[in-house]
Amino acid sequence: MAVNNPYAQYQTNKILQATPAELTLMLYEGAIKFCNIAMVAIEQNDLQKAHNNLMKAQDIIDEFRSTLNHKYPVAKDFDNVYVYIRKLLVDANMKKSKVPLEEAMTHLRTMRDTWKEVMQKAGKGA
């Protein structure tokens, strides 16, 4: 029997009702959240927690890469950025180092902020 969790139900409904653009934003937010958790875990020397959250962030980057539409030339540019961010996350995980993680987070935040801007401009044009 499933436990009735209103917050979990809210989150599920939010995802199910989201547009593709909103889902993309949620993925950026999720990757940043997992990186933040990993950063704190590295600071606290909680290696397993750092690893688990860095793997979640890597999975999100892999999802972004898998959904690129390569019939558009810009997809190659995005793929290159995602490959680089993933490399930073792997380096951070292997070394349990904050330096590559901080750089990855900077790129993720920039991409998230740009995506928000695109969403706002698209909304105004609709």
Domain count within the chain: 1
According to the model, what pLDDT value does residue 8 have? Answer: 74
Q: Model confidence over 81-93: pLDDT tens digits?
A: 999 999 999 999 9
Is there a domain that residue 118 lies in?
A: yes
At 2 the pLDDT is: 55
Contacts of 50 (CB under 8 A, 6+ apart): 38, 41, 42, 93, 96
What average pLDDT is seen over the chain?
92
Query: Can you give the CATH number for the domain in which 49 is found?
Result: 1.20.120.340
| Domain-embedded: residue 13 | no
Domain that holds residue 101: 19-125
The angle at the Cα of 44, spanning 43 to 46, to the nearest 5 degrees, equals: 110
Task: Provide the whole-model pTM.
Answer: 0.86
The answer to whether residue 72 scores a pLDDT higher than 80 is yes
Provide φ and ψ at 96, rounded to 5°: 50, 50
pLDDT in tens, 17-49: 778 899 999 999 999 999 999 999 999 999 999
CA–CA–CA angle 87, 88, 91 (5° rounding): 85
